[in-house]
Amino acid sequence: DADVTQTPRNRITKTGKRIMLECSQTKGHDRMYWYRQDPGLGLRLIYYSFDVKDINKGEISDGYSVSRQAQAKFSLSLESAIPNQTALYFCATSSSEGMGDQPQHFGDGTRLSIL
């Protein structure tokens, strides 16, 4: 989905390095999310943010931090990367407007490998 842009698309790095994954969106959505996907485990929520001043931990936040720099930007940091953080990472957005829960829309993902 070109409206949700993740950078970089691929990254290989070494254990102990600090890594930042960035997400920007042009959908005008107020809510943003970070997930990781591992084979056989599905998508797991790391952090989510409902607006610029709101940050919430998800299911697996240990070892990660986030920053919501603007409504359109949400970055994920690994302060000291470890090999079991090797995964496919997705950013997603959704809107709080409208009736009922609105679906999430995903970026193209960042494939992260930690050696």
Which chain residues interact with other proteins by CB under 8 A? 1, 31, 33, 35, 40-45, 48, 50, 56, 58-59, 90, 100-101, 103-109
Residue among 14 and 23 whose Cβ is closer to other proteins:
23
What one-character-per-residue DSSP string does 53-103 give?
A: T--EE-TT-TT-EEEEEETTEEEEEESS--GGG-EEEEEEEE-S-SSSPPP
Q: How far is the CB of 103 from other proteins (least distance, A)?
A: 5
Q: How far is the CB of 66 from other proteins (least distance, A)?
A: 15
Q: How far is the CB of 2 from other proteins (least distance, A)?
A: 11
Residue among 1 and 79 whose Cβ is closer to other proteins:
1
d(CA 24, CA 1): 12
Fill in the DSSP letter of residue 9. Answer: S
Residue among 72 and 92 whose Cβ is closer to other proteins:
92
SS (H, E, C) 15-55: CCCCEEEEEEECCCCCEEEEEEEECCCEEEEEEEECCCCCC
Residue among 74 and 90 whose Cβ is closer to other proteins:
90
Q: How far is the CB of 64 from other proteins (least distance, A)?
A: 16
